[in-house]
């Protein structure tokens, strides 16, 4: 029996709206971000998903997103596992800077490399490869066994920690994952087989 993995990026945060590098900083959701989370909750409920297990990061924008999704799905009083392994990539010295100001200061190309290369970290921060080095072992140890047992797992996390999972699950190359963007509030759903391998990506 296949398991189901539901990945959701947090809704728009106050720093997404201000176009600031966020990383491990901890802003709230905006009203739009809350609406995005609720809309995803409604969509998952409409598809009759009944998740068994719930995970999120140590950052409030993802935690609040999960809470709003569960509220919309009418799922109450469940255990939610929070872990820094699911945190956004750490943007290091760029955290708190405006992304356009950073482009002015260091150039479009350098900022693109810091944001979307696989193994070049921003100053004092994590590359996607560094992020995967903490997110994937957690997924493999804590979440994949549940999926192999046929459970439905809902994870609310961040653009780059989710891209690390997507890259591994879909078997994407470093070049292929660079082009992959996950919008705020966007769900990605997979069927995972008893062997832990991807069966199919589920269209919502």
- Annotated binding-site residues for substrate read 9-16, 22-23, 61, 88-91, 99, 115-116, 159-160
For residue 81, count other CB atoms closer than 10 A to its CB. Answer: 12
Please say which residue, 4 or 57, places its beta carbon nearer to ligand 3PG: 57
# chain residues binding ligand 3PG, by CB under 6 A: 9
At 82 the three-state DSSP class reads: strand
Strands (E), 57-160: 80-82, 152-157
Sites for ligand 3PG among residues 36-75 (CB under 6 A): none
Residue from the set 7, 11, 21, 54 that interacts with ligand 3PG by CB under 6 A: 21
Element (H, E) at 17: helix 14-17
Active-site residue, 64 included = no
Q: State the Cα–Cα distance between residues 196 and 192, nearest whole angstrom.
A: 6
Residue from the set 3, 23, 51, 185 that interacts with ligand 3PG by CB under 6 A: 23
Q: Which of 86, 164, 76 is nearest to 118 (CA)?
A: 164
Which residue of the set 34, 36, 88, 126 is catalytic?
88
Residues 6+ positions from 38 with CB-CB distance below 8 Å: 68, 69, 71, 72
Query: Does 3 engage in binding with ligand 3PG (CB under 6 A)?
Result: no
Active-site residue, 88 included = yes
Query: Does 90 engage in binding with ligand 3PG (CB under 6 A)?
Result: no
Residues that bind ligand 3PG (CB under 6 A): 21-23, 88, 91, 115, 158-160
């Amino acid at each position: 029996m296949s398991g189901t993995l539901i990945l959701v990026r947090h809704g728009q945060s106050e720093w997404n709206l201000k176009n600031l590098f966020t990383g491990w900083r901890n802003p709230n959701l905006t009203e739009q971000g809350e609406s995005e989370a609720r809309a995803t909750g409604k969509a998952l409920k409409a598809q009759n998903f009944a998740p068994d297990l719930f995970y999120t990061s140590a950052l409030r924008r993802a935690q609040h997103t999960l809470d709003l999704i569960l509220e919309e799905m009418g799922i109450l009083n469940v255990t939610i596992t929070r872990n820094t392994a699911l945190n956004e990539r750490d943007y290091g010295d760029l955290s708190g800077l405006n992304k356009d100001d950073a482009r002015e200061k260091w150039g479009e190309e350098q900022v693109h490399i810091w944001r979307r290369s696989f193994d070049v970290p921003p100053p004092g921060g994590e590359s996607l490869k560094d992020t995967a080095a903490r997110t994937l072992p957690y997924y493999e140890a804590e979440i994949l066994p549940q999926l192999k047992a046929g459970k439905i797992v809902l994870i609310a996390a961040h653009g780059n920690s989710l891209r690390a999972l997507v890259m591994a699950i879909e078997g994407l190359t470093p070049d292929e994952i660079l082009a992959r963007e996950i919008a705020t509030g966007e769900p990605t759903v997979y069927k995972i087989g008893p062997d832990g391998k991807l069966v199919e990506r589920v269209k919502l």
